[in-house]
Structures are given as structure tokens and as C-alpha cells.
Structure 1
């Protein structure tokens, strides 16, 4: 079994950066028309995170302000790990809709205190067709391509593709210091026990051409709501994110 990466650095700090790749969004629906009307409704979801023995809570929410959508993710360490001084980690994606596609305008991830080694900020200027990204302490510009996503919005855009019936497709994702292809590959159906419910799901491998592998379990009957995510490295599970509750389950 294969599983993908996130932008993890070393141990706890890396663990806290998990939002970048364990980005968990809202649910999608069977038809494109109904999906476009429903998946952008405000929602709130909670997840339990385990990365190499470190545990955390992750909360994800979506709201709309005018014509702009704001997707937020907050990750907080639990237990003894809280004494490390790391976190919480805040991840935000601002986007609009253009021709039925998500068009990011601003993405950021970081803690309360600035940390150039881990903070990421990406500005998307669709008028000029260029982006400016700050990551790993450096500023870089890249040309934008239609459909390009950020590390948080890519999952939602992927679900829109799933709602259209696609099961093998590629998304271009801006990671701040580079652009990478994320390929969704359908694998097999599984039933997971989530929030005291047995839910049918389909596992997808998100291929980013990395030694670390990432898997998503999307619910079959709940609008492709992500139920679980796992990261593997050398056939060993490094991180797991599991849904514990969501307004989408009500």
C-alpha cells in the first residue's frame, strides 16, 4: 500500500505543518449542478490527528464573505506535546469561483509567531497571470495556469472532479516554492467506522511523485466527505487523520 506526503519537517514542527497536505475540506454531491450549489455552504468538521506518536485536534471550517470563500484549518497539539511550545498552526485559503472552478487568491500557513523556515504565503494574481510565493525563507514567482490550486483548496477541487464522475485526474498545486502535479487514482472500496457509524468509502492514492505516499478515504454517500487520510513512508504509517465529527454528517 502506498501513502503520500504533507509538508512535514522534523518531528513536532513537521507534525504541525500537516495542514499543508492533510488539508480536509467539505463534501461533494453526485451531480455537478447540485454539488456546485451545496458544497460551498458553511460547514465545520473536527479531526483527530496522530503523527509519529504526537496527537492533535484539527478543526476545519468554511464561510463566505461577499463573493469570497474563506477555508480555515486550525491544528492544536494535545497532551505532553503541548509543552513543546509549537502551535497552534493556522492554515487559510481564500478563493472565489470562476467558470465553475475554484480560483485561489491567498493562501497562508503558520503559527502565532513568525517562522520563516516553516511559514508559507502565496498570493495569486489572476489578472497578471503570476503568483508570488514565500516558502522556506525565500520569495519566488510562478506563472499561473487555469485550475491551479493551493495546498488547502486542492482537495475541494478534487472532489468537484469526483462529483463529475472522474476517477483518474491531475491537479496542479502551488506549494509556495514549487508547482507540483497531484494525481488522484482510485483504488478500492472500504467501510470505515467513523463517529460511531459504519460508512462506505473509496480509497484514493494521491500521487505526487514522492517517497512519502498519501491516501484519502472519501465517503461514497456523504458527498465525498473525507473520512480518513494516511501518510506512509517505506510501507510504514507516519500519520493518520480521522474524522470525529462534522456538520455534514447531521
Structure 2
């Protein structure tokens, strides 16, 4: 028997949902990679819709791009929880690979938080700013910010790769994000019946689990994301609109 969460549970877990969501041309290998797109998702815990997420990519001129991911509460829950979270990335291509230049994170509401990461590729460092303090950190070649990681995943799926590993500047240190192909699946979505590749994020010695369903029809954009927390709570994103 399914049990929907109570309002108290919904309000308690919505900050977790927002945090998890933030915390996915020039080469023939990426010729099919979208120049721009906008995708909207419903966000739910169990069978209860909690909010929406919007991912958008667009060129800004001079070979540069911006990618934004925004999550916010909707419906009844928005009467009680006003927080809105935004991740913003600016980047360009280095050869055929995404090279981030700037990352910003902003969480509104009662627990306001802002983070800024500036990539200095000439010196091989990033400048992190959080809680009023700024510090530098060395980075290896190919380092991404955690927001554009999903774009790199889409790009590599289009190349035919099925196992992925990315160095990510996250939380003031370099983390390694690993993903692996686990199968194919066809299912119905708001955009119709879609063939997808199921990709799982590999976390060693972790009880959390995240799986992405990426659709070749939409340049391997995730059309569904399921995250299982340590306590067993399941958070799901499902695509509802796509423009590109």
C-alpha cells in the first residue's frame, strides 16, 4: 500500500529536494549537441508533487554559453515554503570539451546562501567565495562545476561512451563524479513514449542512489531522475515540457 507524505513531512523534505537537485558544436563528436534548450520538470516526493525545476541552455555570443538550473516550490507547498534555488554557469568550449568559467549558487528564503566559483585556467586554479570568504584551489585539466556536469554527461552519451568520470569543483574541494550505463528502458512521459538509457551515479560507501533516464531523441537530456536518500525517501523529477 502506498503512503503519501504528510504536510509536515513535505515541508521537512523540501529543502533536501532543492539541495539535491543542484546537489546535468564545434567538433563532429558534438555536432548534435543542442545549441540551446529549455526543459521543465515536476519534482515529487513519493506521489506528492512538491515543485518544479527548469534547466535552460543558451548561447551568449563569442562562443560562450550560460546554463541555469532553477528549482522552486509550487501549489500548496508554496504557501509555506518560499525558498528558490538557482545554479548559474558560464562556459565555453576548449576543443570539443566544456570548460567552465563561472559558477554561481543562490538559495533564497530564510536560510539564504550564496556561492561563487571563478575558474582561472591560465593559473590552473579556481577562486571560491562563500560565507564572505574567498580562497583559491588548484584544479586538474578538465575540471567542471557541478551544474554543467549533466551537459558533459549528455555530450559523452552522444559520443557513444557508457562509463564516465568527471573531476568537479564542489564544496571547496575536487570531487570525482562517476556514472555508469545500466540498461535501456522505454516508458511514457509527458512528451510521449521515449526510449532512454539508464545511467546510475556511482557513489562508493554511500547509501544514497541517483539514476538518470537520458533520451536520445532530446540529445540525451535526462527526462527522468530518481534519487533515493539514506532514509529511503524517493525524490523524482519527470520532464513536463521541452523547447529546443
**Residue in 1 that maps onto 2:152:** 157
Paired with 2:169 and 2:84, the residues of 1 have a C-alpha distance of 23
User: What count of residue pairs does the alignment treat as equivalent?
Assistant: 229
Shift, 1:112, TM fit: 4.5
Does structure 1 retain, via aligned residues, the 8 Å contact 2:32–2:219? no
- Where do residues 128-147 of structure 1 align in structure 2 (5 Å cutoff)? 128-135=123-130, 139-147=134-142
Shift, 1:211, TM fit: 2.5
* Structure 1 stretches lacking a partner, 5+ long: 1-9
What's the TM-score, normalizing by structure 1? 0.81
Shift, 1:85, TM fit: 4.2
Structure having the larger proportion of residues in strand = 2
Rg larger in structure:
2
Indicate whether 1:123 and 2:114 are aligned. Answer: no
Paired with 1:85 and 1:222, the residues of 2 have a C-alpha distance of 32
Indicate whether 1:228 and 2:230 are aligned. Answer: no
Q: Cα deviation per residue 1:14-47 (whole Å; 9 max; x = unaligned)?
A: 32223313xx4xxx9xxx61x5334241211111
DSSP-derived class of the 1:145 partner: coil
Paired with 1:244 and 1:179, the residues of 2 have a C-alpha distance of 33
Deviates more, 1:72-81 or 1:180-189: 72-81
Paired with 2:187 and 2:166, the residues of 1 have a C-alpha distance of 27
What's the TM-score, normalizing by structure 2? 0.83
Paired with 1:106 and 1:114, the residues of 2 have a C-alpha distance of 26
Paired with 2:183 and 2:131, the residues of 1 have a C-alpha distance of 36
Q: Please report the RMSD computed on the Cα atoms of aligned residues, expressed in angstroms.
A: 2.5
Shift, 1:113, TM fit: 6.3
Alignment equivalent of 1:42, drawn from 25, 31, 36: 36
Alignment equivalent of 2:241, drawn from 226, 241, 245: 245
Indicate whether 1:106 and 2:108 are aligned. Answer: no
- Where do residues 75-224 of structure 1 align in structure 2 (5 Å cutoff)? 75-112=71-108, 115=111, 118-135=113-130, 139-209=134-204, 210-224=206-220
**Residue in 2 that maps onto 1:6:** none
Higher RCO, 1 or 2 (CA under 8 Å, sep at least 6)? Answer: 1
Does structure 2 retain, via aligned residues, the 8 Å contact 1:13–1:86? no
